Amino acid sequence: MVTVFTSSGCSYCELVLSYLTKHNIPFQEKNISENHQFFKEWKDLKVLGTPTTHFEGNIVVGFNGDELKDLIHKVNK
């Protein structure tokens, strides 16, 4: 399943969640602002910034339509 690490007040996070919903991709949202365990998981990915979209070792940071499209293709395989 796709995991999206988000933070409170992040407009790009909302764009990613909407994009995945629009393309019928199931995901789990983990808000790192509200949950310390989610923050630790996000930090272990060694990335900076939210949204961070993660699926089977593939990571997309921010809202990047082309990279998200590639990720959706991998999810649908």
Q: Residue 72 — pLDDT band, cuts 50, 70, 90? A: confident
Task: Report d(CA 34, CA 37) in Å as an integer.
Answer: 9
DSSP 45: T
- Residue 13, classed as helix, strand or coil, is helix
Element (H, E) at 2: strand 2-6
One-letter amino acid at 20 equals L
DSSP 62: S
Contact 27, 17 (CB under 8 A): yes
**pLDDT digits over 21-52, tens only?**
999 999 999 999 999 999 999 999 999 999 99
What is the share, in percent, of the chain residues with pLDDT greater than 70? 100
User: For the chain, what is the mean pLDDT?
Assistant: 95
Q: Which structural domains are found in the chain, ordered by start?
A: 2-75 (3.40.30.10)
From the list 55, 53, 48, the residue with the least C-alpha distance to 64 is 53
pTM for this structure? 0.95
In the predicted structure, residue 13 carries a pLDDT above the cut 90: yes
